[in-house]
Amino acid sequence: MKNILYILGGLSLLASCTKDDIALTRATTRLDQLQLDNRPTQQRFTFALAQPQAIRTASGATFTFPANAFLLPDGTAATGQAELRLIEIYSVGDMLLANQPTNTPNGTLLISGGEFRIQVWQGTDRLTMRTPQALTDFLSIASTRPAGQEADTTRMRLWTNTQQPDSSGRTGWNSSYSGTVTPTPSLPYYTSLVPLDSMGWWNIDQLPPEYYSRPASTIRVSVPAGATLTRVYLRPVGQNGLAMLWNSDATNYTSGPMPLGMAMVAVVLQERDSKLYYGTQTLTVQATNTITLTPAEHTAAEIVSLVRQL
């Protein structure tokens, strides 16, 4: 079954407002290197700007956009050839390996229908789409619904990651360019007005239905001391999402609000003494949640294999 996401491109923002460093772009530790080496590959497609395009990605998504749709940073029409650069993420394992969790800035969990980094370049110039004047001006993306994605998409919206991480790594998805969803029996449609390519990442997301019917509580995870780097995540069992926890001190990490009764898997990645450690623990969210998770030493290849089984 295919999901059709219509991104209506073209708010006039500067192409220089890139947020690429939200994603991991350089390695300073072995844990950074593990994620950098195993994140989804950036795909590149060269196309003629003067012709309509339908570009099919490695995961089977199709990007369709009209001729003469892109502008240079000075607002003039781009001509000749350009390059679409794309990263697409549909699974929890890829979310973790790309360090692209699906929570809001306050840690609220989101369930993803797909994360996309969409950029169009011409040489060293980052291009934006011109303001659409008709339906034929729109960029459309048809993508496969991720495994575990519920069929009811009435709460699905398009979110953008516009914030730089703070000192504890805190960032998240914002719904300032949220779209509406009109489901049909066979095809849900996502629509939104967005400034295509002025921000790096877009995420088709919704809140888990449990947020609408249950109170929420935070989860605290304690990890071993002495780590060069620690990353702690929560994976909701049976749902396509991933939340990052933030450190309140050197060994304690705290989540955003999580609905009571939800089944979760806590995931810890650590680097200590130049060795890599990985561990998980299942839990059910309660009014008070404190767990101690001591990860075991693994090779990088073993960790990647375990992460892809989440």
Question: What pLDDT sits at residue 13?
Answer: 29
Q: Which of 90-104, 148-162, 287-301 has the lowest mean pLDDT?
A: 148-162
Tell me the whole-structure pTM to 2 decimals: 0.84
Residue 285 and residue 289: Cα distance in Å, rounded?
A: 7
pLDDT at 255: 96
- Number of compact structural domains in the chain: 2
Which CATH number characterizes residue 247's domain? 2.60.40.1120
Per-residue CA distances from 44 to 18, 35, 41, 47, 189 (Å): 18, 20, 10, 10, 26
143 and 272: one domain? no
Are 65 and 140 in a shared domain?
Answer: yes
In this prediction, residues 174-201 reach a mean pLDDT of 54
Q: Answer yes or no: do 77 and 22 share one domain.
A: yes
Q: Of the residues 155, 189, 208, which one is the last residue of a structural domain?
A: 208
Q: Say if CB 43 and CB 57 are below 8 A apart.
A: yes
pLDDT of residue 152: 54
Statement to judge: residues 172 and 252 lie in one domain: no
Question: Is 172 in the same domain as 41?
Answer: yes
Verify that 259 and 191 share a domain, yes or no: no
Q: Do 266 and 134 sit in the same domain of this protein?
A: no
pLDDT given at position 61: 80
Query: What's the domain range around 236?
Result: 211-307
As a whole number, mean pLDDT of residues 267-273 equals: 96
| pLDDT over 90 percentage in the chain | 53
Last residue of a domain, which of 208, 243, 259? 208
Same-domain status, 185 and 263: no
- 196/45: higher pLDDT: 45
Shared domain check, 189 and 98: yes
The answer on 233 and 92 residing in a single domain is: no
Are 37 and 169 in the same domain? yes
pLDDT in tens, 73-96: 999 999 999 999 999 998 999 999
